[in-house]
Structure 1
Amino acid sequence: MFDFSIISKWFHSLLTGFIPEWLAIGIECLIVLLFIIILYAILAIALIYLERKICAFFQCRIGPNRVGKWGLLQVFADVFKMLSKEIIKMRQSDKLLHDMAPFF
């Protein structure tokens, strides 16, 4: 198994050569946090794809296969569709009643 402490010590010594140690530690923490967020995002994409394929199998369907090769880009198409939807607000309606309607 690879020892990541070698890379960590090298990167820490590289950063502390240019900036104060407290700032170097902060940057290292941000890099680790970014790595964890990217890892969870990739895991979420894979699990969403697997869920769709497994549900399609149970329902005797093909599942997502239209966007990208084997439907791998379906998650990104869904995100784009969700972000590009327009929020509709009525001009002459009761604002409070319009906003509270989904909850009752």
Structure 2
Amino acid sequence: MHLYLVGFAALAMTGTALMGIAGIVTGWVPRWMRVRVLRPKLWGYGVVVGAVGMSLYMFIGPFRGPDLSMAPFAMTGMAMFFAGLWLQTLSRRPGRPGIPERR
């Protein structure tokens, strides 16, 4: 059962990171998010940071076993995940207005 869980988690985090990379490179956002996301590149960065953080948390934390020496690394992964969520939240807000050029 453990191997199936690790495989599914790796597949899910890889898919999530690929969606974030697509958002960074092309500005693509999944259909259910298009109405709310105003800055797709920032959303993509948030998704990639969140996926890396959750992967770090899962594979160094719960999936590794009860090794307390790895707890700081796992908690760093959780902090990265929350930073990614914050970036995704910021991507729903409009950016700063551009400064008009003076002639």
TM-score of the superposed pair, with normalisation by structure 1: 0.32
Q: Which has the higher contact order (CA 8 A, sep 6+)?
A: 2
Structure showing greater radius of gyration is 1
